[in-house]
Amino acid sequence: RKVRVEDGIFLPRYRLPTEAEWEFASLGLIGNTYFERITERRVYPWNGHYVRNDHSKYLGSMMANFKRGRGDNMGVAGRLNDNADITSPVYAYWPNDYGLYNMAGNVCEWVKDVYRPLSAEDNDDFRAFRGNVFKTQVRDEEGAIEEKDSLGRIIWREVADADHKDENLERRNYKIADNISYLDGDKISSLKYQEEELEPDDLKKMMYEITGEQPTTLIDDRARVYKGASWRDRAYWMGPGTRRFLDEEQSTSWLGFRCAMVRVGSPVGF
């Protein structure tokens, strides 16, 4: 059949945001920064350390949909009630300073990062994204791109696969395609770092491998980070810096997602 607009080929490329991107968007510091000086501290995506609106017109109204305590999903009557026992409409509460709704409360949100416990690697100037799997275009012997799929999309493969083991020998930034377990789950970070004879399958998941009928960990390369709080969570989880994880194949009534768009061009618009 012919390619349709619904196939997504003619649209911008969408993906899950990384954990760092999500936190940046959630905190929305653009609203409390005056001439590069932060004037108000924030615990949540709004100014202050409280969960109720301090504007005179809406004084005391709840800023988000969350759980106050055991058996208290909505609150009592009046402005102590957030008007939602489970999920609420998107525009039921105020947006943050980027104009984004529900960056705290209502539903938690998936991000792209593979979960690992916080370590020294997370204290760098940039929060490193964990989940890189480097790929390259499938090409023929003459270097031309091979036949595309049925929707006209280019076919990709992992670099340095079984048929191209030597293509990354001169690279300095990475040698293998799958870097999910880099310095936290790979051979270098395991007790077997000095062993030379290891099977290819043993080079991955050295620390976070689930084996046997009784697994000892829920963390593996399929554990993805999710952020924010949902209608069933306490206020603590509405802080942008909190993080939890779940198997990427699972779904729940309190977990959703939003998309980031891959933008090509100058960050200032010209």
- pLDDT per position as a tens digit, 27-36: 888 877 777 7
Mark whether 234 and 121 lie in a shared domain: yes
Statement to judge: residues 103 and 42 lie in one domain: yes
What pTM value is reported for the model? 0.82
Query: The domain spanning residue 37 has which CATH number?
Result: 3.90.1580.10
Residue 198 lies in a domain: no
Residue 9 in this model has a pLDDT that exceeds 70 = no
Q: Mean pLDDT, to the nearest integer, of 214-226?
A: 83
Q: Is the same domain home to 40 and 100? A: yes
Asked whether residue 214 is domain-assigned, the answer is no
- The residue whose two tokens read 């984004």 is 100
Q: Mean per-residue pLDDT for 133-149?
A: 85
Query: Among residues 177, 195, 210, which one ends one of the domains?
Result: 177
Q: What mean pLDDT, rounded, does the chain reach?
A: 81
Give residue-wise pLDDT tens across range 38-59. Answer: 777 788 998 888 888 888 888 8
Would you state the torsion angle of the CA atoms of residues 193, 198, 199, 204, taken in this order, to the nearest 10 degrees?
0
Inform me whether the pLDDT recorded for 225 exceeds 70.
yes
106 shares its domain with 226: yes
- Spatial contact of 238 and 64, defined as CB atoms under 8 Å apart: yes
Domain count, the chain: 2
Least confident of 75-84, 98-107, 112-121, 193-202: 193-202
Give the residue from 146, 162, 177 where a domain finishes: 177
For residue 210, being part of any structural domain is answered with no
pLDDT at 178 over 80: yes
Range of the domain at 153: 134-177
Instruction: Give yes or no for residue 76 having a pLDDT over 80.
Output: no
Choose one of 148, 177, 206: the last residue of a domain: 177
**Do 115 and 167 have their domain in common?**
no
The predicted model gives 164-168 an average pLDDT of: 79
Q: What pLDDT, on the 0 to 100 scale, is given for residue 199?
A: 61
Residues 171 and 232 in one domain: no
Rounded CA separation 186/85 (Å): 44
